[in-house]
Amino acid sequence: MTGADQVFLQSAARSATYTVISQLLFRIITFVMNAIVLRRAPPELVGVVNVRLMLLYTTVLFIAREPFRRACLAARSSAAASATSSSDRDDPLSPAANARTWLRIKAVAWLCMPVGVAVAGALALVWSKLLEHPSEAISGYDQGVAMYAIAAVVELLSEPLFVRAQIFLQPGPRVVAEGLATLTRCVMVISLLLWDDSLTIAECGVAQMAYALVLLSWLIFDAARRSSGQLRAADVLPFGTGFDKATLTLAWAFFRQSILKQLLSEGERYVMTMFNVISFAEQGVFDVVNNLGSLIVRFFFLPIEDSFYPYFANCLPRATNLKQALEDERGAESRVALAVSATRMFGLLLKVMLSIAGLGLAFGPPSASVLLSWYGGQHLATGTGPLLLQVFCVYVAMLAVNGISECFVSAVAPRSHLDRMSGLLVGISVLFIVSSILLTSQVGAVGFVIANCMSVGIRLVASSSFIRRYYANTDVDLAARGDMVARPATLNKSDVVPRPLVIMALVVSCSTVSAMRWVLDQGWAGEPGLFVDGIYIATAAFCLCVVAGSVLIADRALVDAARTWYRERRAQQKRL
């Protein structure tokens, strides 16, 4: 493995580790806050804040931030490739090279601000003037809309600082900033709720504004601290530089795609908001189930995708076929080393995601009622809540594989393919809207999840098709000793799919916990309570140990890769 490859991989792994751990801790804090709110606030307020207003907030952030972030982080790939093919260039990972890269793309990074202001203003008008307002019992709606829109713009001010930290291979600042901001918001919400045993929309808006301000303040402080007080405003602000044409072109491609991806990822919330297919109270219940079901997506899947996107973009060329791209490049030997390492890492990530998907399908549906009753009270464990969470487990399993696949495609696909994907996403968006409206009229909120499964399935097929073409006829690989040999470097089935013993253990575990759930629901162990839940949890824990044992026995390659990664992380921490 080359020095550049090691640094890129270590940066991606370090970013993924920090982000996963921090997201886990911070989501636990938010998890506890929501559990307290659910027992004290009316479901209608939960629906307005967590669905309607947070949709406004996330829409502004995603549309204004995602395309420019991905385009700027991909800029390192072209810089590394040009430096690899020219021996007289600086080390592409040196501080000087990082500074040149940042100088080249910082104007593009700051474009998130004018885009964000425009999107926030337009959406705030729509949310306030055109959409249905909640009942008079939920006051302060217009003030809440304004505060959430302003908070989104304030958070966008921190985006160029985040991109700069990523360019300089510093994943830590954003992690700490998000942690402090999340803690501040949760403390404010719980304090306000406990103070007078009620919560208003305006108070939720104040807490969200505090989140954005703390996030921005810490990133400014950290950037100044790391530069030992030498950081100037001109080093961060976009003045004095032009727009890098290649980065701007790529950002435009991502911009069109980001709008469609936002419609797909938050499609059910847009349908709820625009078409009023279910009440605010029902939206609140759906949001609870969605948050509980997608917990692993937030603290594990998304951080992995965000962290490994720059790694794939740096190590693999943007092309429709890897072999042809490597043959066309000068200095192909070092590029092959990077490509092979990235391919192996991609295969490992796919296997991990498939294993997690199997765990979710095996243990999620039988555990739905227990999870809901513990989280939000017994009223959530009745009605459509358990069925909604059971179907959501299937959706999360599909997201596990689709997320890392689309991350890979976004990192390596040429602009022409990204444009075609944008066209496909338009069709998928229309299909989702139509199917969700039709399905919700028949099966209620469950129809949203079914429509999402249909959309993700189509996207997964499209990503798989591109990946297959990308690795077609690739016939170079890197041996363990570091020499080039002729050996296929594609994604074999054995490198991606879990071992048969692991699959068998998952099937047996699913059957066991499902049977135990049925027995307990019949009342054979007594009335529902801690004792009955304890029996089920003990059974599920035993089955989980069986699955873990099957992985240790049957998939040594996965275990060895995890052990090697852990040792490298420990060694890196000691060096730091």
Would you list the DSSP string of 484-540?
Answer: EE----S--HHHHSPPHHHHHHHHHHHHHHHHHHHHHHTTTT-SSSHHHHHHHHHHH
What is the Rg, in whole angstroms, of the alpha carbon atoms belonging to the chain?
24
CA dihedral in degrees (102, 103, 107, 113; nearest 10)? 50
Q: Which two tokens stand for residue 466?
A: 């591109």
Domain that holds residue 525: 499-554
Q: Which two tokens stand for residue 27?
A: 């989501």
382-399 pLDDT tens trace: 777 888 899 999 999 999
Is the predicted pLDDT of residue 483 greater than 60, yes or no? no
Q: Are residues 284 and 417 in the same domain?
A: yes
Q: Are residues 102 and 216 in the same domain?
A: yes
Q: Are residues 537 and 414 in the same domain?
A: no
Sign of CA dihedral 88, 92, 97, 101: positive
Q: Are residues 339 and 455 in the same domain?
A: yes
Q: Are residues 504 and 415 in the same domain?
A: no
Residue 455 to residue 460: CA distance in whole angstroms:
9
Q: What is the mean pLDDT of residues 548-569?
A: 75
Q: Are residues 513 and 427 in the same domain?
A: no
Q: Are residues 388 and 525 in the same domain?
A: no
The string over 420-457, giving b where at least 16 C-beta atoms fall within 10 Å of a residue's C-beta and e elsewhere, is: ebbeebeebbeebbebbeebbeebbbbbbbbbbbbbbe
Is the predicted pLDDT of residue 73 greater than 90, yes or no? no
Q: Are residues 128 and 248 in the same domain?
A: yes
Q: Are residues 387 and 282 in the same domain?
A: yes
Q: Are residues 531 and 455 in the same domain?
A: no
- pTM across the whole model: 0.71
Q: Are residues 124 and 219 in the same domain?
A: yes
Q: Are residues 515 and 388 in the same domain?
A: no
Q: Which two tokens stand for residue 114?
A: 């004018």
In the chain, the number of structural domains is: 2
80-125 pLDDT tens trace: 555 544 444 445 556 677 777 788 888 888 999 999 999 999 999 9
Max mean pLDDT range (117-121, 228-232, 449-453): 117-121
